[in-house]
């Protein structure tokens, strides 16, 4: 029997395809006109409203798919503002569905409609099943013809049975007494983590929960985060993403998940009950509820810059077949090809109102329905591209600014993409915080001994006012980090000079080659006790600098106890022990774990390390409270211009006056704190530091010393006395008492 799908002219049906029920089989479903908004599938207790946007479509069918894989097609003949819609009485949660979109297939004009493809809902809140990786039915034309294809080149193969399916969900969830922590930025410590990487090898997480949202919410994980003192967990992508077909053929997987096709759905592979459609939704909500109960915020790493459909050679999963020219940035001189500001094959079209609506609807949904506390925007500069150049006042940022929901959560930009002019650190609007790439580079260079000015180091340490101080932002706008998912973890940063990515199958060509790392004398593993001691000290130095800098610190998961990737700096495809947390290190590297807890506690207890406002940096008048910060040479003298510009200088001290904070807390109370002196020595030899004179303080006591395995310090030094600071180490001193003036 001939396939009931209408095949575009120039193609023929294929007799081996399953024969779907004809459209008349939908007569048993009571259909009302429904509404154009909200888009997607919305269950109200009696039935479900379906709505799909397509400006280019000439006809749209909703396909209800039964458990046996057969479909019922219902034509959506109500159209308002290019949204095709209907309300179906009695359609309940768990119903699997997709769409078939009829319209022009003309890649040269930017159109790729193909009704043989069962398309996923861009607004789908849950997905079920798997993709038949690389199956020709997922592609409208053979890849070798994709750039020049016409309707005559269509395969005519139906993708039903070879693609995932969208699922209607029940939106109800018992949130109990859930409340968003709403922690101020200056009190925030972010922990970047991966759902599976955190839990896949944890011995106390039940095996059936490992790699899942439920596993991440297990008390063993939450207790670890609480013992550290972190206040927010930033999850690598959990929007529904695709396992790359090419990687699967190589026996690898898309571990990171920067390959989204469902912006309103939690990734289904991270649910403990994957056999049950939409279980990921309730499990994700329960995870958020558990974190909130312990005062921990949940921030999502989101990928609104590109989709999983890739370049012109990629599969037709949803956006491409629904309205290719609306959802994607196409090349002006050849609309069969895609603009690629992301290095992934395509760029989402933030200039189109319905694409912007999808992004904003997605953000609001995750805040209002899933209760998340903020977002980190991957390659955020792509979202700012209106025409060609990055425009910080693009429509997307205007929409965020005026949105009463999205504007009130944490908004973190990765302020770069791979296109021309894409590096935009410091240029995002006032609501936004940014991953500070300049902080990362400066701190790596300082501790590995690269020639650089101390002025750059001091600027990054104090919140990067040169980047954020002139745009109405505060030190917290700088998301300070030294390591993240992309690149070496901290233990590898001090153990490898070169990347070692052979396991990725690309002959070590992938990943960044300029890592600003230093192996401390030997590449990779070693038994040399001196090198091991130096590496451990360097990790403590970096953690101390990070956590005592002004701004918002972010720690990469596992750095607190020395997680290693064996020198691989691009584990995007390594869903394996190479990238997972090795929890045995929490015991074998317990000193580093205890040290990390100690430094976080120091930051948490003392507001002088997490000021809400930038330092004033007034000229020094010794002993006066207006002096909030002072910079000193190891000789105890105020830094001069020559000292600041020294390319070889590696040592200095910073005086942080707890009496000079001069800012109220969020309840309007004046903030005062202890006064600290931090001695930084990145030199390869020990250095004697002269303590400040009496008007700074009569006596200084050791609070932290990175030359000790757990940071312990028992030193006491009087005014004008000398303190020997070990090579490549940091000493933090607290003023015992202030000398009365006059």
Per-residue three-class SS string for 383-440: HHECCCCECCCCHHHHHHHHCCCHHHCEEEECCCCCCCCCCCCCCCCCCCEEECHHHH
Residue 97: pLDDT over 70: yes
Contacts of 244 (CB under 8 A, 6+ apart): 253, 254, 259, 573
Evaluated on CA atoms 202, 207, 213, 219, the torsion sign reads negative
C-alpha closest to that of 434 among 419, 421, 415: 415
Whether 569 and 651 map to the same domain: the answer is no
Residue 28: pLDDT over 50: yes
Residue 564: pLDDT over 50: yes
With a pLDDT cut of 90, the percent of the chain lying above it is: 79
Whether 264 and 403 map to the same domain: the answer is yes
DSSP conformation class of 719 = T
What pLDDT was estimated at residue 357? 97
User: What does the pLDDT look like over 155-206, one tens digit per residue?
Assistant: 999 999 999 999 999 999 999 999 999 999 999 999 999 999 999 999 999 9
DSSP string, 663-708: -B-TTSPBP----EEEEEE-SSS-EEEEPP-TTT-SEEEEEEETTS
563, part of any domain: yes
CA 335 – CA 337 distance, rounded (Å): 5
The Cα-based distances of 473 to 173, 187, 547, 626 in angstroms read 37, 16, 20, 22
What pLDDT was estimated at residue 197? 98
330 contacts 176 by C-beta, under 8 angstroms: no
pLDDT band with cut points at 50, 70 and 90 for residue 27: very low
What pLDDT was estimated at residue 663? 79
What pLDDT was estimated at residue 720? 94
Count up the domains in the chain and report the number. 3
Q: What is the CATH number of the domain that holds 265?
A: 3.20.20.80
pTM for this predicted structure: 0.94
User: What does the pLDDT look like over 499-516, one tens digit per residue?
Assistant: 999 999 999 999 999 999
Q: What is the mean pLDDT of residues 383-412?
A: 82
Task: Out of 260-264, 437-441, 665-669, pick the least confident.
Answer: 665-669
What pLDDT was estimated at residue 393? 55
Q: Using the structure block, give the residue that is written with the tokens 């992508």.
A: 237
Task: Out of 86-95, 448-457, 518-527, 725-734, pick the least confident.
Answer: 448-457
Q: What is the mean pLDDT of residues 533-557?
A: 98
Whether 122 and 93 map to the same domain: the answer is yes
Whether 356 and 387 map to the same domain: the answer is yes
With a pLDDT cut of 70, the percent of the chain lying above it is: 93
9, part of any domain: no
| Length of the chain, in residues | 742
User: What does the pLDDT look like over 210-222, one tens digit per residue?
Assistant: 999 999 999 999 9
Task: Out of 10-19, 488-497, 505-514, 608-617, pick the least confident.
Answer: 10-19
Residue 540: pLDDT over 70: yes
CA 674 – CA 187 distance, rounded (Å): 17
What pLDDT was estimated at residue 738? 57
Whether 615 and 585 map to the same domain: the answer is no
136, part of any domain: yes
11, part of any domain: no
Examine the fold and report which residue of 599, 631, 659 is the final residue of a domain before the chain moves on.
599
pLDDT band with cut points at 50, 70 and 90 for residue 18: very low
Contacts of 577-583 with CB under 8 Å at 24 or more apart are 577/201, 578/503, 579/194, 579/197, 579/255, 580/196, 580/197, 580/200, 580/201, 581/197, 581/198, 581/199, 581/200, 581/201, 581/202, 581/557, 582/201, 582/558, 583/201, 583/202, 583/203
Whether 264 and 149 map to the same domain: the answer is no
Whether 108 and 251 map to the same domain: the answer is no
pLDDT band with cut points at 50, 70 and 90 for residue 530: very high
Q: What is the CATH number of the domain that holds 69?
A: 2.60.40.10
583, part of any domain: yes
C-alpha closest to that of 98 among 135, 132, 130, 60: 60
305, part of any domain: yes
Whether 595 and 616 map to the same domain: the answer is no
CA 12 – CA 23 distance, rounded (Å): 20
CA 602 – CA 292 distance, rounded (Å): 23
Cis status, amide bond into 40, omega within 30 of 0? no
User: 288 φ, ψ to 5°?
Assistant: -60, -45
Give percent helix, percent strand, percent coil of the chain, each to the nearest 5: 25, 20, 55
Residue 430: pLDDT over 80: yes
CA 136 – CA 691 distance, rounded (Å): 73
The Cα-based distances of 22 to 54, 91, 648 in angstroms read 23, 19, 78
What pLDDT was estimated at residue 627? 83
Residue 4: pLDDT over 80: no
Whether 431 and 527 map to the same domain: the answer is yes
Examine the fold and report which residue of 538, 567, 599 is the final residue of a domain before the chain moves on.
599
What pLDDT was estimated at residue 619? 54
Residue 16: pLDDT over 50: no
User: What does the pLDDT look like over 650-706, one tens digit per residue?
Assistant: 999 999 999 888 778 777 778 889 999 999 999 999 999 999 988 788 899 999 999
Higher confidence at residue 310 or residue 146? Answer: 310
Examine the fold and report which residue of 546, 581, 599 is the final residue of a domain before the chain moves on.
599
Q: What is the mean pLDDT of residues 100-113?
A: 97
Contacts of 667 (CB under 8 A, 6+ apart): none
Q: What is the mean pLDDT of residues 562-584?
A: 98
Q: What is the mean pLDDT of residues 383-409?
A: 80
Q: What is the CATH number of the domain that holds 684?
A: 2.60.40.1180
Whether 618 and 690 map to the same domain: the answer is yes
pLDDT band with cut points at 50, 70 and 90 for residue 19: very low
**DSSP 3-state assignment of 725?**
strand
What pLDDT was estimated at residue 668? 78
C-alpha closest to that of 654 among 643, 670, 642: 643
CA 375 – CA 373 distance, rounded (Å): 7
622, part of any domain: yes
The Cα-based distances of 518 to 531, 532, 649, 681 in angstroms read 11, 13, 19, 17
Whether 99 and 243 map to the same domain: the answer is no
CA 675 – CA 733 distance, rounded (Å): 9
Domain of 629 in residue numbering reads as 608-735
User: What does the pLDDT look like over 41-71, one tens digit per residue?
Assistant: 999 999 999 999 999 999 999 999 999 999 9
Per-chain mean pLDDT for the chain: 91
Residue 20: pLDDT over 60: no
What pLDDT was estimated at residue 105? 97
What pLDDT was estimated at residue 25? 39
CA 354 – CA 348 distance, rounded (Å): 11
What pLDDT was estimated at residue 618? 62
What pLDDT was estimated at residue 389? 59
The Cα-based distances of 32 to 17, 39, 83, 169, 368 in angstroms read 31, 16, 15, 20, 28
What pLDDT was estimated at residue 390? 61
Q: What is the mean pLDDT of residues 426-442?
A: 92
Tell me which residues are annotated as active site: 378, 414
Whether 133 and 243 map to the same domain: the answer is no
546, part of any domain: yes
User: What does the pLDDT look like over 116-137, one tens digit per residue?
Assistant: 999 999 999 999 999 998 899 9
């Amino acid at each position: 029997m001939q396939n009931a799908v209408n095949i575009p002219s120039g193609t023929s049906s294929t007799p081996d395809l399953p024969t779907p029920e004809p459209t008349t089989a939908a007569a048993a479903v009571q259909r009302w006109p429904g509404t154009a908004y909200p888009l997607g599938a919305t269950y109200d207790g009696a039935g479900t409203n379906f709505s799909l946007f397509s400006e280019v479509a000439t006809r749209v069918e909703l396909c209800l798919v039964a458990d046996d894989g057969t479909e019922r097609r219902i034509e959506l003949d109500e159209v308002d503002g290019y949204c095709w819609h209907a309300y179906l009485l009695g359609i309940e949660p768990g119903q699997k569905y997709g769409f078939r979109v009829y319209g022009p297939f003309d890649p040269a004009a930017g159109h790729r409609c193909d009704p043989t493809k069962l398309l996923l809902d861009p607004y789908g809140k849950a997905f079920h099943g798997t993709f038949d990786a690389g199956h020709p039915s997922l592609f409208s034309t053979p890849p070798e013809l994709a750039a020049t294809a016409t309707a005559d080149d269509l395969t005519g193969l139906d993708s039903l049975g070879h693609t995932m399916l969208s699922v209607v969900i029940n939106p109800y969830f018992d949130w109990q007494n859930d409340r968003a922590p709403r922690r101020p930025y200056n009190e925030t410590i972010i922990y970047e983590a991966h759902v599976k990487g955190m839990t896949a090898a944890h011995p106390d997480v039940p095996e059936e929960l490992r790699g899942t949202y439920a596993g991440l919410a297990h008390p063993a994980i939450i207790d670890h985060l609480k013992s550290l003192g972190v206040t927010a967990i930033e999850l690598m992508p959990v929007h529904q993403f695709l396992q790359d077909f090419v990687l699967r053929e190589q026996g690898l997987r898309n571990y990171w998940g920067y390959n989204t096709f469902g912006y309103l759905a939690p990734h289904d592979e991270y649910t403990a009950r994957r056999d049950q459609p939409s279980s990921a939704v309730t499990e994700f909500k329960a995870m958020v509820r558990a974190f909130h109960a312990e005062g921990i915020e949940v921030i999502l790493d989101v990928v609104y810059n590109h989709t999983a459909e890739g370049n012109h050679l990629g599969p037709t999963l949803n956006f491409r077949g629904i309205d290719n020219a609306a959802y994607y940035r196409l090349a002006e001189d050849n609309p069969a090809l895609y603009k690629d500001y992301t290095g992934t094959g395509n760029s989402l079209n933030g200039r189109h109102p319905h694409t912007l609506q999808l992004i904003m609807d997605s953000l609001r949904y995750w805040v209002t329905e899933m209760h998340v506390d903020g977002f980190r925007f991957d390659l955020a500069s792509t979202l700012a591209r209106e025409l060609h150049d990055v425009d910080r006042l693009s429509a997307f940022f205007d929409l965020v600014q005026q949105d009463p929901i999205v504007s009130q959560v944490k908004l973190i930009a990765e302020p770069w993409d791979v296109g021309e002019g894409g590096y935009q650190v410091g240029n995002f609007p006032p609501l936004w915080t940014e991953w500070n790439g300049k902080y990362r580079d400066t701190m790596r260079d300082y501790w590995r001994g690269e020639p650089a000015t101390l002025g750059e180091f001091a600027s990054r340490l104090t919140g990067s006012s040169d980047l954020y101080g002139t745009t109405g932002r505060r030190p917290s706008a700088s998301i300070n980090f030294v390591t993240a998912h992309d690149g070496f973890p901290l233990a590898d940063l001090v153990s490898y000079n070169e990347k070692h990515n052979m396991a990725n199958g690309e002959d070590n060509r992938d990943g960044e080659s300029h890592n600003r790392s230093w192996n401390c004398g030997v590449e990779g593993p070693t038994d040399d006790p001196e090198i091991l001691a130096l590496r451990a000290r360097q990790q403590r130095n970096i953690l101390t600098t990070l956590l005592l800098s002004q701004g918002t610190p972010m720690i990469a998961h596992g750095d607190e106890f020395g997680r290693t990737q064996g020198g691989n700096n691009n584990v995007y495809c390594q869903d394996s022990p190479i990238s997972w947390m090795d929890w045995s290190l929490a015991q074998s590297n317990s000193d580093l774990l205890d040290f990390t807890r100690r430094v976080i506690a120091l930051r948490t207890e003392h507001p002088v390390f997490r000021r809400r406002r930038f330092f004033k940096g007034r000229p020094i008048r010794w002993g006066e409270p207006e002096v909030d910060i002072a910079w000193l040479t190891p000789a105890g003298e105020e830094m001069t211009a020559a000292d600041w510009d020294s390319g070889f200088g590696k040592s200095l001290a910073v005086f942080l006056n707890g009496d000079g904070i001069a800012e109220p807390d969020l309840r309007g109370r004046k903030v005062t704190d202890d006064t600290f002196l931090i001695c930084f020595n990145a030199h390869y030899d020990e250095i004697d530091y002269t303590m400040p004179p009496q008007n700074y303080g009569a006596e200084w006591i050791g609070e932290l010393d990175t030359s000790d395995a757990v940071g312990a310090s028992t030193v006491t030094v009087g005014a004008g006395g000398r303190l020997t600071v070990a090579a490549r180490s940091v000493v933090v001193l607290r003023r015992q008492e202030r000398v009365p003036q006059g």
